[in-house]
Structure 1
């Protein structure tokens, strides 16, 4: 599963998470810049943006919503603090948690593939509005395994999960990501959530929510949201 636009509203990511990281950037670097994991991220930034100050490069990538791995890793560290102290809570669409619980209980292996870092993924599902859902998830993948619009990334995920691609289903709101997954042999379904303004691409099976995914693909149905 993708996150933004699939399990989680685009508005939560764009209007809550991104501004949170942007506001906290300089303060976080000043307070935590000597931590080894931050130093490693800053080294990646310098390698990708030579001649620029890391904070300057990071802000430019933020403004462009660039899917750059060191930016996503740093955002994840900043968000981690927000989740830990209660300033952030992971948004999920009301239909998601019940279906994830039903699917996991029915023996379906669940995994996440998002451009956000693995750490950020774990925090969102670990501090979600529906509680800690990380025990339901058996895999987390980010752009370190490859870009989301490249078929090789999905083949690599299938290899990591030791699962035949044809036995896997990828859920996303982005048609180009689904195209890449299908090229790697996966089954696909586009989430077309009206609240996010997603437009159906017309070249993949579609569902308006997770219960419809369950009906279309014969998955266990979760209890309807109250």
Structure 2
């Protein structure tokens, strides 16, 4: 029987097929199997001897090209379609929120309400605050005081609202009525250049990189969507909203509840929740997002609350550690 050495097999793969040798017994097809296998392999690699001769260099290049293609395909499969970012402790120092935004809102509640009392936005804010205060009074929330009707006069209404808002801010409550009012107060501060948003140095380059690669980036914060747009619209790195595709706040649900992240997944229209990478500094938020099926990374920044031991989540200290 006719037998080919390994070297002969390689030459057959990358050279025109020679005429097969004559067999002493035509019934036996073994003498053709090497040529047949070489032809199949060459076809699988899209090799055509009639248009180009393939030597060792071309073979090596072809193999490298195939490996690169496989690597690119694998990376595309593992790269999330969307990134959802927390703000406080993730993109922005906690100190900016606690030492700048909250005090500004607290110190300007009365002035803001007095100057905008008759506007549509403020009327809506007051309506939400009245409803929240009524619930707080029924539930015995400390610091809640009744808000009189409009018949009591503007000053009486504002005085009660200020008292309630100050207590809400002190308790750092994540409620829509407070966040909406704060957003409107902060809007005035940003527009007057009395406030400028702050993001970590690695945030702007990461947003630009993800945007360029087609990864959609969203923000999910307990702050109102208006407040979120203001923070990223007036930052120390300029307007970063061009890199963001949308904003989620407590209207989608509270950040420590898995149903909120299910709602976000359905809103973004991904094939599966794991197509979303959620980055936060809060362990309870990480656990809720994981329960909803999202990929989760915890942000470890200066000033953040320490994480419990054996929490089981991947952590990063900079967005440069995100491998895409």
- Contact kept, 8 Å, 2:224 with 2:250, in 1: the verdict is yes
1:151 aligned to which of 255, 258, 263:
258
- Contact kept, 8 Å, 2:197 with 2:236, in 1: the verdict is yes
Q: What is the aligned partner in structure 1 of residue 317 from structure 2? A: 208
Q: What is the aligned partner in structure 2 of residue 168 from structure 1? A: 276
- Contact kept, 8 Å, 2:132 with 2:177, in 1: the verdict is no
Structure 1 stretch 29-38 or stretch 109-118: which is displaced more? Answer: 29-38
Q: What is the aligned partner in structure 1 of residue 54 from structure 2? A: none
Structure 2 residue 100 is the aligned partner of structure 1 residue 16: yes
Q: What is the aligned partner in structure 2 of residue 178 from structure 1? A: 286
CA drift of 1:203 comes to 2.1
Structure 2 residue 68 is the aligned partner of structure 1 residue 68: no
1:3 aligned to which of 71, 77, 87:
87
- Contact kept, 8 Å, 1:190 with 1:200, in 2: the verdict is no
- Contact kept, 8 Å, 1:41 with 1:73, in 2: the verdict is yes
CA drift of 1:35 comes to 1.2
CA drift of 1:144 comes to 0.8
> Aligned ranges for residues 1-226 of structure 1 at < 5 Å?
1-50=85-134, 51-52=146-147, 53-163=160-270, 164-193=272-301, 195-201=302-308, 202-212=311-321, 214-215=322-323, 219=324
Q: Deviations over 1:178-198 (max 9, x none)?
A: 1000111100000011x2143
Q: Which runs of 5+ in 2 are unaligned?
A: 1-84, 135-145, 148-159
Structure 1 stretch 41-50 or stretch 93-102: which is displaced more? Answer: 41-50
- How many residues are paired up? 214
In structure 2, what is the Cα distance between the partners aligned to 1:71 and 1:35?
17
**Structure 2 SS opposite 1:189:** strand
CA RMSD between the two structures: 1.0
CA drift of 1:121 comes to 0.3
Structure 1 stretch 70-79 or stretch 200-209: which is displaced more? Answer: 200-209
In structure 1, what is the Cα distance between the partners aligned to 2:123 and 2:216?
35
